[in-house]
Amino acid sequence: MMPILFGTSKMNEKTHLEIGGCDTTVLAEKYGTPLYVYDVACIRSQARGFKETFNQLELESKVTYASKAFTCIAMYQLIQEEGLCCDVVSGGELFTALKAGISASDIAFHGNNKTYAELKMAIDAKIGTIMIDNFHEIELLSSILEEQDQKQAVMLRLAPGVDAYTHKFILTGQEDSKFGFDIKSGQAEEALKKVLADPHFDLIGLHCHIGSQIFDTEGFKIATEKMMAVMMDWKTRYEFVAKSLNLGGGFGVKYTQEDDPLEPTAYVKEIATIVKATCHKENYPIPSIWIEPGRSIVAEAGTTLYTVGSKKEIPGIRTYVSVDGGMGENIRTALYDAKYEAFPADQSGDMKEEELVSITGKYCESGDMLIHDIKLPKLEAGDILAMTSTGAYGYSMASNYNRNPRPAVVFAENGESRLVIKRETYEDLTHLDLPLK
């Protein structure tokens, strides 16, 4: 089966996988494996796609990259180059974004349990927007703003009660969710009253996010309609006019041949059409439309390179091929039963003889799987295996389980590679440890 080649990926004249003009077998040699390689041009084009769609629709908009999908200093700088804003969900992400030089006003802060210290840090930095998630946060944030004698632009995160089709762990917009104020029970309205009555808040708009890896526009359509209905209602009853409407992220991407996602821009068009039409009909000023794509900006741009090691054939049952990484740098198969594809980065040998194998990692547990059942050319120890579409929620969810160091990350563009996250060393692993005595 032909591998899926994303972005600038291609097989070069040596029949080696090339990403961003760089031969991946050379990258594996130079930087070692496991290695995350990002196709920078692919990230740029995804980012531009969103911005251009809004421009074509002549709509005011903000594309805030959901940095939880993958981030580091260079990544923040890249999205800044492309004119995107970003959202952060922790003090750590905020710190990294600021350190990367992102202007605080271009940052939005999410989370269902932001701590005092995190909120204080955000306010001190003069962060652009805080997305208020719950009643506790209204009180906490208000008290910090009072202490600091500051006013803060905020959005209210609402749970619109939409069950978008995706893995249950990554659903967020349904009523039974830990995120946001529920609309149906009246909590959202109660939150609105509190925020409007508090002089420390400048309520600039409303937010919702219905889930992740969503393949059709139906969920977005329903969520947008529900949010618009709330906006019309609150204008009539509270004279509140939302300057911005943030409809979150969640646009699906292609992991395997079976996935058939829409162009990310298709979701934007659907959302925008509903917003425009409702505003015209109801004589409501068109709000600035914000979206928060994470996965759709980085997933397909990322490829993980592994070196094949041991192989175990259990006659009639399964053949395990082990690679030098696993659930440490990619826990998505173990956690969500996520599906991926892989192929040898060097295809100059005999690719005809295929076998059905399962790709496993080097971690000490049976759940440490990367791919269950995939037909691959016969692999031998030392071969470089490229696992595609690993750019989102891979490195960002990495752990040091079994005290394995986290891998390095390289950006490839126009034939040049740049190390953007160093490989962790054993020294790094003991860096925080203190002796018994």
**Residues that are catalytic:** 364
266 interacts with ligand LLP by CB under 6 A: no
Choose between 36 and 251: whose C-beta lies nearer to ligand LLP.
251
Cα–Cα distance between 187 and 179 in angstroms, integer?
A: 12
Distance of closest approach, residue 430 Cβ to ligand LLP, in angstroms: 28
Number of residues that bind ligand LLP (CB under 6 A): 20
Nearest Cα neighbor of 40 from 381, 387, 415, 359 is 415
Closest CB to ligand LLP among residues 25, 303: 303
Indicate whether 172 belongs to the interface with ligand LLP (CB under 6 A).
yes
Nearest CA among 384, 419, 409 for reference residue 17: 384
**Amino acid letter for position 164:** A
Residue of 393, 395, 420, 421 that binds ligand LLP (CB under 6 A): 393
Site residues for ligand LLP, 30-69, by CB under 6 A, read: 66, 69
Site for ligand LLP in 174-203 (CB under 6 A): none
Q: How far is the CB of 42 from ligand LLP (least distance, A)?
A: 16
**Measured from the CB atom, is 322 or 333 closer to ligand LLP?**
333
Question: Quick check: 109 binds ligand LLP (CB under 6 A)?
Answer: no
Rule CB under 6 A: say whether 217 interacts with ligand LLP.
Answer: no
Cα–Cα dist 267/291, whole Å: 10
- Nearer to ligand LLP (CB atom), residue 16 or residue 110: 110
Regarding 152 and contact with ligand LLP (CB under 6 A), the answer is no
110 binds ligand LLP (CB under 6 A): yes
- Minimum CB–partner distance for residue 35 and ligand LLP (Å): 20
Regarding 209 and contact with ligand LLP (CB under 6 A), the answer is: yes
Q: Does 296 bind ligand LLP (CB under 6 A)?
A: yes
Q: Contact, 119 vs 170, CB < 8 A?
A: no
Least Å distance, CB 432 to ligand LLP, is 25
Smallest distance, ligand LLP to C-beta of residue 249, A? 3
Task: Between 66 and 308, name the residue whose CB sits nearer to ligand LLP.
Answer: 66
> Which residue among 34, 160, 219, 294 contacts ligand LLP (CB under 6 A)?
294
Query: Which parts of 234-263 interact with ligand LLP (CB under 6 A)?
Result: 248-251
Q: How far is the CB of 131 from ligand LLP (least distance, A)?
A: 7
Q: At closest approach, how far in Å is the CB of 66 from ligand LLP?
A: 3
Which CB atom, from 157 or from 200, has the smaller least distance to ligand LLP? 157
**What does the binding site for ligand LLP look like in residue numbers (CB under 6 A)?**
66, 69, 110, 170, 172, 209, 212-213, 248-251, 292-296, 332, 336, 393
